[in-house]
Amino acid sequence: MLYRVLILRLLSLMPPELAQSLAERCLRIKPPWRFIAQYIKTDISQLNTDLCGIPLSSPIGLAAGFDKDFRMLNTLSLFDFGYLTCGTVIVNPQPGNPKPRLIRDVSDRAIINSMGFPSKGLQFVENAIKQDRTDVLLPIIASISGIDLESIKTSYLRLSPLVSAIEVNISSPNTAGLKVFHDPARLSEMIKMIREIDSRPLFIKLPPHNEEITEINSALSLASACIDSGANGITVSNSHPIEDDRLSVGHGGLSGAGLINRTLKMVSRFRSYLGPDIAINACGGIFSGDDVFNALLAGANTTQMYTAFIYRGPTVVKSMKNELLNRMKTEGITRLSEINHGYVNY
Ligand SMILES: Cc1cc2nc3c(=O)[nH]c(=O)nc-3n(C[C@H](O)[C@H](O)[C@H](O)COP(=O)(O)O)c2cc1C
């Protein structure tokens, strides 16, 4: 409440990137958050679950992009997420696209971005994880990306021993070069290359698709390529491509509450097509405990949020866990494992 009435209002008065960098600075100061965390953390055993053998306190994770350079691991780990996805990490430092590249549409609870992977680079991130990892008690997924096999291999080799799992992002709408991996043969080649290194949990973050039959078929063949080549699961999906003159580059990705229905449709389609054995992380428009419950019903194993964290603030996971518990009570379900993943078609 305090967050929405006071802090979000204050941040909304600033240009979005200034607000974001101010928030990041605050999140890098650990002591006050340690104190606040006592009132945020809730251990609810009914919500415990796992993702490819990684134990999670709940299926509510943070999506990639909020902590691109792993600089807020310690503080973010206090906010009760089931896991954190950090990155996307790029091998060499790069500034990203020119500003303006971040827009908030508060009435739609949306964010539009054309960040273009600003990154401090692999070496910086490696050092940051080594420095902070000992304090962090929850699973970390590192999001990596690149436009060629060599750079993905380099990031994988150096980061996978330091984290619980890797998510390869082939779906940023702001990096045209990633489209090479929208070809199932190239994607298979990349996954097989990784599988020759080791068998740690590996997820591929897929692009969104619409309801046209050609798009559906391409999406399904991409998902098949992931699983046939040895990935453990998919993240469905990323922000949705959009044209917007307010961005310096004229186009970007739409994130936020409006994406939920398409996310549920995509998740349930992938679950029916791929069967029960692969992991699906639902991402896009997850804003409430109801959204989490519906995503699990559609066939997801976990959910990831970005925009809800901005609009609902540091207590978002606590609130979502309570909402999820209430929904489970209404449905007569006591444990998450009782949800029949994938039996509802959206
Ligand atoms: C400002 C911003 C930066 C993002 N950066 C990344 C990124 O680096 N890597 C990535 O995989 N997704 C990135 N995303 C996409 C989110 O991880 C997520 O897929 C998307 O926002 C949809 O989820 P949401 O509706 O919960 O925000 C970014 C999103 C935003 C708003």
Q: At 340, is the pLDDT very low, low, confident or very high (cuts 50, 70, 90)?
A: confident
- What digits encode the pLDDT tens for the residues 71-123? 999 999 999 999 999 999 999 999 999 999 999 999 999 999 999 999 999 99
Catalytic residue among 145, 155, 172, 255, which?
A: 172
Q: pTM for the whole thing?
A: 0.96
Highest mean pLDDT among 21-35, 172-186, 250-264: 250-264
112 CA → ligand 1 middle, Å: 10
Give a yes or no: residue 345 inside a domain. no
Q: Does the pLDDT value for residue 343 go beyond 70?
A: no
Confidence at residue 311, expressed as pLDDT on a 0 to 100 scale: 95
Give a yes or no: residue 271 inside a domain. yes
Total Cβ atoms within 10 A of residue 315: 16
User: What does pLDDT average to over the chain?
Assistant: 94
Higher pLDDT, 212 or 10: 212
- Point out the ligand 1 atom lying closest to the alpha carbon of residue 287: 26
Give a yes or no: residue 8 inside a domain. yes
Residues β-bridged to residue 115: none
Give a yes or no: residue 343 inside a domain. no
334 CA → ligand 1 middle, Å: 32
Higher pLDDT, 15 or 53: 53
Confidence at residue 32, expressed as pLDDT on a 0 to 100 scale: 84
Catalytic (active site) residue 172 = yes
What is the residue range of 30's domain? 2-338
Confidence at residue 114, expressed as pLDDT on a 0 to 100 scale: 96
- What digits encode the pLDDT tens for the residues 10-41? 888 888 898 889 888 888 888 888 888 888 88
For the record, the structure tokens of 149 come out as: 């096999």
Residues having CB closer than 6 A to ligand 1 are: 63-65, 68, 88, 102, 111, 113, 115, 143, 169, 172, 205, 238-239, 255-256, 259, 283-286, 305-308
Give a yes or no: residue 264 inside a domain. yes
Confidence at residue 28, expressed as pLDDT on a 0 to 100 scale: 87
Q: Does the pLDDT value for residue 200 go beyond 90?
A: yes
Q: For the chain, give the secondary structure using H, E and C.
A: CHHHHHHHHHHHCCCHHHHHHHHHHHHCCHHHHHHHHCCCCCCCHHHCEEECCEEECCCEEECCCCCCCCCCHHHHCCCCCCEEEEEEECCCCECCCCCCCEEEEHHHCEEEECCCCCECCHHHHHHHHHHHHHHCCCCEEEEECCCCHHHHHHHHHHHHHHCCEEEEECCCCCCHHHHHHHCHHHHHHHHHHHHHHCCCCEEEEECCCCCCHHHHHHHHHHHHHHHHHCCCEEEECCCEEEECCCCCCCEEEEEEHHHHHHHHHHHHHHHHHHCCCCEEEEECCCCCHHHHHHHHHHCCCEEEECHHHHHHCCCHHHHHHHHHHHHHHHHCCCCHHHCCCCCCCC
Mean pLDDT of the 144-155 span: 97
Q: Does the pLDDT value for residue 327 go beyond 70?
A: yes
Q: Could you identify the residue written with the tokens 């190239």? A: 186
Q: Does the pLDDT value for residue 296 go beyond 90?
A: yes
Give a yes or no: residue 75 inside a domain. yes
Give a yes or no: residue 346 inside a domain. no
Confidence at residue 1, expressed as pLDDT on a 0 to 100 scale: 65
Read off the CATH number of the domain in which 218 is found: 3.20.20.70
Mean pLDDT of the 45-61 span: 97
346 CA → ligand 1 middle, Å: 23
Q: Using CB atoms within 10 A of its CB, is residue 300 exposed (0-12), middle (13-18) or buried (19+)?
A: buried
Give a yes or no: residue 323 inside a domain. yes
- Point out the ligand 1 atom lying closest to the alpha carbon of residue 85: 17
Structural domain count of the chain = 1
238 CA → ligand 1 middle, Å: 6
